Amino acid sequence: MKVHILDDWADTLRHLPCFARLAGHEVTVWTDRAEGADLAARLRGAEAICLFRERTRITADLLDALPDLRLISGRGAWPHVDVAACAARGVAFASRRPDEAPNHAAAELTWALILAALRDLPGQMASAKAGHWQAGVGRTLRGKTIGIYGHGRIGRLVAGYAAAFGARVLWWGSDAGCARATAEGGKVPGSRAEFFALSDIVTLHLRLTPQTSGIITAADLAQMGPQSVLVNTSRAGLIAPGALLAALNAGRPGQAALDVFDTEPLTDPADPLLSHPRVIATPHIGFVTEEEFDLQFADIFDQVNAFAAGAPIHLVTP
């Protein structure tokens, strides 16, 4: 098959073991971003498209421009794919959602951001390189209270890191998630307001769905203390539009450590959230490790091979 891989911005995949699974196919790897007519033009003749997470949206207009397309292969949730449009045009969409495998890379970045915020690592590094040596005084993680919003696979990994560092953990989320946390011996406070007020660090670990969009409100953020930190390595849309910037300007929370933004890629250095003096920012690298890529794209490429062999797997389209 003529297979096109989109959005491999660091040109990583062809150097990983999983890439050998596409031997026998005619493969094109795109290492830059394209949209609209430019995207349709570069994909002309493609029979299969491999998606790089949510970096490209699959729309009805794009599908109409690709009459040779037979398969779209992805991994995980698919808010960026118009599944109904795929089905209506006879394009198969396959995407494995591995419920049993937590994303260790995202959990590790979450922990790195927590430490970076408490010790002001970006500021200390910049000060040292500028020849100014120490810049201010950090805070110790041991004994702090970490509020984990979302009792899922990544949240449980973060809770394990907290225990290793001597931090306390509070849980919040859906009724089912809070029940699971309680059943496992976790601490669930008496109210949502108490969760935000008692947490020195609040870290979000939810999927973005219509039900969770904007689930973190301005009122929630206002409960946080002036020295607290909000960490988001999940999705920016979990926070109500504009609420975080307004909360930071009001001083509650005191800091935010963010890996996700409403617009991505975010390349405007003057963006008010990205440039905020109390924001530590990384460019959505929670899943960006060689090991995680190899794991995820092994599934994506296996879906291509299964489809080519006439025995498709992990189909989302009927």
Do 88 and 126 share a structural domain?
no
Do 220 and 94 share a structural domain?
no
141-184 pLDDT, tens digit per residue, is 999 999 999 999 999 999 999 999 999 999 999 999 999 999 99
Does residue 316 form part of some domain?
A: no
Do 207 and 79 share a structural domain?
no
Catalytic residue among 264, 291, 292, 314: 264
Does residue 155 form part of some domain?
A: yes
| DSSP letter (8 states) at residue 81 | B
Residue 235 is among the residues annotated as catalytic for this protein = yes
- Residue 199 pLDDT more than 90? yes
Does residue 156 form part of some domain?
A: yes
Measured between alpha carbons, how far is 143 from 255 in angstroms, rounded to an integer?
A: 19
Model-level pTM greater than 0.85?
yes
Q: Where in the sequence is the domain holding 121, given as residue range(s)?
A: 104-281
Task: Determine phi and psi for 17, rounding to 5 degrees.
Answer: -55, -35
Measured between alpha carbons, how far is 134 from 55 in angstroms, rounded to an integer?
A: 39
Does residue 317 form part of some domain?
A: no
Instruction: Read off the pLDDT band of 100 (50, 70, 90).
Output: low
Do 302 and 256 share a structural domain?
no
> Closest Cα partner for 231 from 253, 212, 262, 198?
253
Measured between alpha carbons, how far is 177 from 211 in angstroms, rounded to an integer?
A: 14
Measured between alpha carbons, how far is 258 from 256 in angstroms, rounded to an integer?
A: 6
Pair 135, 119: CB distance under 8 Å: no
Instruction: Read off the pLDDT band of 185 (50, 70, 90).
Output: very high
Do 301 and 234 share a structural domain?
no
Sign for the pseudo-dihedral over CA of 125, 128, 132, 138? positive
Do 114 and 90 share a structural domain?
no
Measured between alpha carbons, how far is 158 from 107 in angstroms, rounded to an integer?
A: 6
- Residue 267 pLDDT more than 90? yes
| DSSP letter (8 states) at residue 292 | H
Do 143 and 203 share a structural domain?
yes
Residue 284 is among the residues annotated as catalytic for this protein = yes
Do 263 and 130 share a structural domain?
yes
Measured between alpha carbons, how far is 313 from 56 in angstroms, rounded to an integer?
A: 22
Catalytic residue among 96, 235, 252, 314: 235
Contacts 24+ apart (CB under 8 A), 264-271: 264/55, 265/33
Q: For 295-307, b where at least 16 C-beta lie within 10 A, e where not — what string? A: bbbbbbbbbbbbb
Pair 86, 317: CB distance under 8 Å: yes
Structure tokens at 298: 């092994």
Does residue 32 form part of some domain?
A: yes
pLDDT, mean of residues 77-87: 95
CATH code for the domain in which residue 222 is found: 3.40.50.720
Q: At what angle do helices 104-119 and 290-308 cross, to 10 degrees?
A: 160
Do 109 and 94 share a structural domain?
no
Q: At what angle do helices 153-164 and 104-119 cross, to 10 degrees?
A: 50
Do 168 and 56 share a structural domain?
no
- Residue 98 pLDDT more than 80? no
Do 266 and 170 share a structural domain?
yes
Per-residue model confidence (pLDDT) at position 36: 95
Pair 55, 31: CB distance under 8 Å: no
pLDDT, mean of residues 276-284: 98
Cα angle 33, 60, 55; round to 5: 25
C-alpha distances (whole Å) from 98 to each of 75, 89, 140, 260, 304 are 8, 27, 35, 22, 17
pLDDT, mean of residues 56-82: 96
Instruction: Read off the pLDDT band of 318 (50, 70, 90).
Output: confident
Identity (one letter) of the amino acid at 192?
A: R
Domain count, the chain: 2
> Closest Cα partner for 258 from 246, 249, 238?
238
| DSSP letter (8 states) at residue 37 | H
Does residue 315 form part of some domain?
A: no
Does residue 9 form part of some domain?
A: yes
Q: Report the percent of the chain where pLDDT is more than 70.
A: 99
Catalytic residue among 96, 151, 284, 314: 284
- Residue 309's Cβ-side half-sphere holds a number of Cα atoms within 13 Å equal to 11
Residue 264 is among the residues annotated as catalytic for this protein = yes
Do 62 and 120 share a structural domain?
no
Contacts 24+ apart (CB under 8 A), 75-80: 75/51, 75/296, 75/297, 75/299, 75/300, 76/296, 77/207, 78/316, 79/54, 79/208, 79/209, 80/51, 80/54, 80/56
60-69 pLDDT, tens digit per residue, is 999 999 999 9
224-257 pLDDT, tens digit per residue, is 999 999 999 999 999 999 999 999 999 999 999 9
